[in-house]
Amino acid sequence: MSPGRAEALRTGLARALGVDPGPLALRPAGGGCINAAATTTAPGRALFVKWNDRPLPRQFEAEARGLEALRAAGALAAPAPVAWSDAPGAAFLALEHVAPGPRAPGFDEALGRGLAALHRTSAPEGFGFALDGYCGATPQPNGWRPGWVAFFAERRLGHLVALARAAGLERDGVAALERVVARLDRLLAGADGLEGPSSLIHGDLWSGNLHVTPEGRPCLVDPAAYFGHREAELGMMRLFGGFGPRVWAAYQEAWPLAPGWDERLGLYELYHVLNHFVLFGGGYGAQAVRLARRYAG
């Protein structure tokens, strides 16, 4: 960590904690591919700190606000943001450090029920979030829309199609994706809640963003949070796996999904496969085109 960023971290923590933490000993922590990270100890608390030499605009504020929203829902644990800055050369995010623990009995059921409870948290403004955010390093525009189909078409799938085109996705694949976007009103018909209420979702929930508290409870980290449709959450969960059948069963018991949900999840998988193509290239482009052709008509 550069001297300027270390001083910004110290100043930010002093403001947040009401006491100067003094020089901070940082212990490197792994696990991320975008930011550098470390753990440290400030007066009275253990912290997890991340920083970036090339921060994205409002990157750490967006993550902090997402964590605040998840915590306010009271459905599942999430680390508390303590202090952050997005200033060039001094960008950081300091979080409550949640030490990992072994999974307690009933962990999967608690996760399924907790997600259903989280998704019952809605926003009166509709679909979106108070500020734009990111999924990985990809911008996610979050301007409010009253209906889910328009939000997903404009702010999510259509947005990613444009980025994929700019990243070099082949023309026929782009055309198939554009047909999917044009058909979303028909493809999503039958889902509940398309005109609201919205659902607060983590937004990037794969197994690597599921943590375990010292007490063995599920804990959500690294969110791309916004108020969307609950099936969008489940699509990402299914894409990369790692969530057992007891999670899905507990979710369905707590809040049954509308008929046809399992077929619609592929549309949300498509969004995240496209995002991986934009971020990493390679075979994700062909995977996205194959998925698109299932829905393109």
Condensed to tens digits (0 to 9), the pLDDT of residues 144-165 reads 999 999 999 999 999 999 999 9
Question: Do 275 and 205 contact (CB within 8 A), yes or no?
Answer: no
* Predicted local confidence at residue 162, as pLDDT: 98
For the residues 53-72, what does the mean pLDDT come to?
Answer: 95
The residue ranges of every structural domain in the chain are 3-96, 107-295
Q: Which residue has the tokens 């259903």?
A: 116
Residue 11 sits at φ, ψ, to 5 deg, of: -65, -45
Q: Of all residues in the chain, what percent carry a pLDDT higher than 90?
A: 81
Q: How far is CA 31 from CA 85, 222, 239, in A?
A: 21, 11, 20
For the residues 179-190, what does the mean pLDDT come to?
Answer: 98
pLDDT above 70: residue 32: no
Report DSSP state, residue 255.
S
* Predicted local confidence at residue 167, as pLDDT: 97
Distance, in Å, from the CA atom of 218 to the CA atom of 206, rounded to the nearest integer, reads 13
For the residues 272-287, what does the mean pLDDT come to?
Answer: 97
Catalytic residues: 204
Q: Which tens digits make up the pLDDT trace of 89-147?
A: 788 899 999 999 999 999 999 999 999 999 999 999 999 999 999 999 999 999 999 99
Residue 213 sits at φ, ψ, to 5 deg, of: -70, 165
Q: How many CA atoms lie within 13 A of 98 on its CB side?
A: 23
Amino acid making up residue 123: A
pLDDT band at residue 69 under the 50/70/90 scheme: very high
Q: Strand, coil or helix: what is 93?
A: strand
| Joined tokens for residue 67 | 């964590």
pLDDT above 60: residue 286: yes
| Joined tokens for residue 242 | 């790692």
Under CATH, what is the fold of the domain 107-295?
Answer: Aminoglycoside 3'-phosphotransferase; Chain: A, domain 2 (3.90.1200)
Q: Strand, coil or helix: what is 207?
A: helix
CATH of segment(s) 3-96 = 3.30.200.20
- What residues form DSSP beta bridges with 33? none
Q: How far is CA 189 from CA 142, 144, 192, in A?
A: 22, 21, 8
Distance, in Å, from the CA atom of 47 to the CA atom of 35, rounded to the nearest integer, reads 16
pLDDT band at residue 239 under the 50/70/90 scheme: very high
Instruction: Please report how the helices 261-280 and 230-240 are oriented relative to each other, as an axis angle in degrees rounded to 10.
Output: 70
* Predicted local confidence at residue 11, as pLDDT: 87
Distance, in Å, from the CA atom of 144 to the CA atom of 110, rounded to the nearest integer, reads 31
pLDDT above 60: residue 31: no
Q: Which of 23, 19, 8, 15 is nearest to 43 (CA)?
A: 19
* Predicted local confidence at residue 24, as pLDDT: 85
Distance, in Å, from the CA atom of 38 to the CA atom of 28, rounded to the nearest integer, reads 4
pLDDT above 80: residue 1: no
Question: Do 274 and 292 contact (CB within 8 A), yes or no?
Answer: no
| Joined tokens for residue 34 | 């975008």
**What is the chain's alpha carbon radius of gyration, rounded to the nearest angstrom?**
20
